[in-house]
Amino acid sequence: MDSVIVIGAGLGGLEVGYILARHGLRVTVLEQERQIGGCLQTFRRLGRTFDTGFHYVGGLDEGQSLHPLFKYFNLLDLPWRRLDEDCFDEVFIEGAGAFPFASGHERFVERLSEKFPGSREELRKYASFLKGVGDHIFDSFDSPSENFSKSAYEFLCGTVSDPLLRKVLSGTSLKMELNADTLPLYIFAQINNSFIQSAWRLEGGGELIAARLASQIESFGGQVRTRARVEHLVEEGGRIARVELEGGETLSADWVVSDAHPAVTLGLVSDTKMLRRIYRNRISSLKNTFGMFTANICLKKDSLPYLNRNVFVHTAGADLWRPDASRTESVLVHSYVPEEGSYSTHLDILSPMSIDSRTEDYEARKEAKARECLSLAEKAIPGLSDAVERVFTSTPLTYESYTGTPGGSAYGVAKDWMNPMGTILSPRTPIPNLLMTGQSLNLHGILGVSMTSVFTSACILGMDALKAEILP
């Protein structure tokens, strides 16, 4: 029976651990923090449970993108709550108003056509293309999509003629980093399509996903260890022979899988000729996506009705395809499902942010950023500021310290449609028994990381076996 060490208990590490343990391998998952989950971690403030990075998922219904994966991982029976099918996302643009994103491709077209009656046929073409990409998502188990080599921005401009409608369709951009010069069409289409299929929140937070996967790994005979920081991977004879932990403990396994950022993973391996300088330099020089500022807001009792939708708010001058992470031009407002009643008890406001050092005025700058976010959010949600009881904040520096992701990047390595071979990474490394997984390799988000966990596991088990188990 082969043994596997998985470095990192984020979603990707736990899913790989689950797949391999289910197939009889001896799995040990090592997490450096006291809590598993990575961006699935939750924390408590004033009796409310907040998520670290997870907020909602798309495509959970049968026949949709995420359903077969979460069925395989035994996650469908968690307390998922469907968002408003008539408006799961609302895009608010200062000076132009609010625009609804409805679930289902036909309803999506009809609702936006009410605002843009002259663009109905363009919207149908847009939605049909997204659906076509989503319908073939599992073709990527055999070969990468050609849409990785096409520009998302060029597709949008070539499909939709109204500049305001293009901005609206780009308005849920905080699911990804939009970049007019580099973003591949596949990422834009696949992510947007999955949410149009259906959109869901998880009552109780992302920790439920992490806890379920960890318990199943253990039920298969594996281990999930916390406070187990990996310091070195020792290569001998062309393979990783030892995994050295902080404190001096040494482990060995037939395979090592890293859920850490690729640059961090390679930094763990020293004194080896297997990783040539040109390979290390290529990985370390890859551009990462921006980080995220988050205001975790506790609300006064019965002060703000629960919003069963997400609200994306943008200033009139925001250029969504060339975002300026140094300014507060866009925010996402996410409400948590209340345990009882029809009023929100807490919510998050997120906004892109570049990493900054912890200077003397760090706390003052966080407070100023929080005020800017609240002010922008209130343009779409009047009375929000008066409903605030207390605000807690985090920056990309916070994410970097918790996840180890360079720069606190929200979506990992930035992909480039003009250089797909250089920015879409293989799970394999030049060291045969060292594999990688996680959001920086292929597609980010819950759907993308779950897909990538299959790609990584297939390097050990073979893709045919996994396809037969997972696909309907």
Residue 221: alpha-carbon gap to chain centroid: 29
Tokens standing for 279? 């390979």
User: What is the band of 356 on the pLDDT scale with cuts at 50, 70, 90?
Assistant: low
Q: What percent of the chain has pLDDT over 90?
A: 81
Q: In angstroms, how far apart are the furthest CA atoms of the chain? A: 68
Per the CB < 8 A criterion, the answer to whether 349 and 331 are in contact is: yes
User: What is the band of 435 on the pLDDT scale with cuts at 50, 70, 90?
Assistant: very high
User: What is the band of 163 on the pLDDT scale with cuts at 50, 70, 90?
Assistant: very high
pLDDT in tens, 8-64: 999 999 999 999 999 999 999 999 999 999 889 999 999 999 998 889 999 999 999
CATH class of the structural domain 3-43+205-286+413-470: alpha beta
Among 105-119, 326-340, 355-369, 417-431, the range with the most confident prediction by mean pLDDT is 105-119
Between β-strands 255-258 and 434-436, what pairing exists: parallel, antiparallel or unpaired? parallel
Let me know if 386 is exposed, middle or buried by CB neighbors in 10 A (0-12, 13-18, 19+). exposed
Map residue 179 onto helix, strand or coil. Answer: coil
CATH 3.90.660 given to domain 80-203+291-353+357-394: yes
Within the chain, all domains assigned CATH 3.90.660 are found at 80-203+291-353+357-394
Let me know if 114 is exposed, middle or buried by CB neighbors in 10 A (0-12, 13-18, 19+). exposed
pLDDT of 196 above 80? yes
**What is the number of other CB atoms lying within 10 angstroms of the CB of residue 468?**
8
User: What is the band of 363 on the pLDDT scale with cuts at 50, 70, 90?
Assistant: confident
C-alpha dist (Å) from residue 183 to 148, 158, 316, 450: 9, 15, 23, 21
Q: What percent of the chain has pLDDT over 70?
A: 99
pLDDT of 376 above 70? yes
Name the average pLDDT for the chain. Answer: 93
pLDDT of 145 above 90? no
The one-letter amino acid at 288: N
Per the CB < 8 A criterion, the answer to whether 309 and 84 are in contact is: yes
pTM here? 0.95
Map residue 136 onto helix, strand or coil. Answer: coil
Map residue 192 onto helix, strand or coil. Answer: helix
Average pLDDT over residues 155-175: 95
CA–CA dist 93, 105 (Å, integer): 22
pLDDT of 355 above 80? no
Within the chain, all domains assigned CATH 3.50.50.60 are found at 3-43+205-286+413-470
CA–CA dist 198, 103 (Å, integer): 5
Average pLDDT over residues 328-352: 94
Degrees to nearest 5, angle at CA 61 with 22 and 308: 120
Per the CB < 8 A criterion, the answer to whether 231 and 402 are in contact is: no
Tokens standing for 470? 């997972």
pLDDT of 358 above 70? no
- pLDDT number for residue 345: 95
- DSSP secondary structure code for residue 84 in this structure: P
Degrees to nearest 5, angle at CA 394 with 388 and 400: 165
pLDDT in tens, 247-283: 999 999 999 999 999 999 999 998 899 999 999 999 9
Tokens standing for 77? 């029976």
CA nearest neighbour of 159 among 204, 195, 189? 189
- pLDDT number for residue 48: 93
Map residue 129 onto helix, strand or coil. Answer: helix
Degrees to nearest 5, angle at CA 90 with 127 and 391: 140
**What is the number of other CB atoms lying within 10 angstroms of the CB of residue 67?**
17
Phi, psi of 277 (to 5 degrees): -60, -40
Average pLDDT over residues 336-355: 91
CA–CA dist 116, 135 (Å, integer): 27
- pLDDT number for residue 469: 93
CA nearest neighbour of 378 among 450, 313, 317? 313
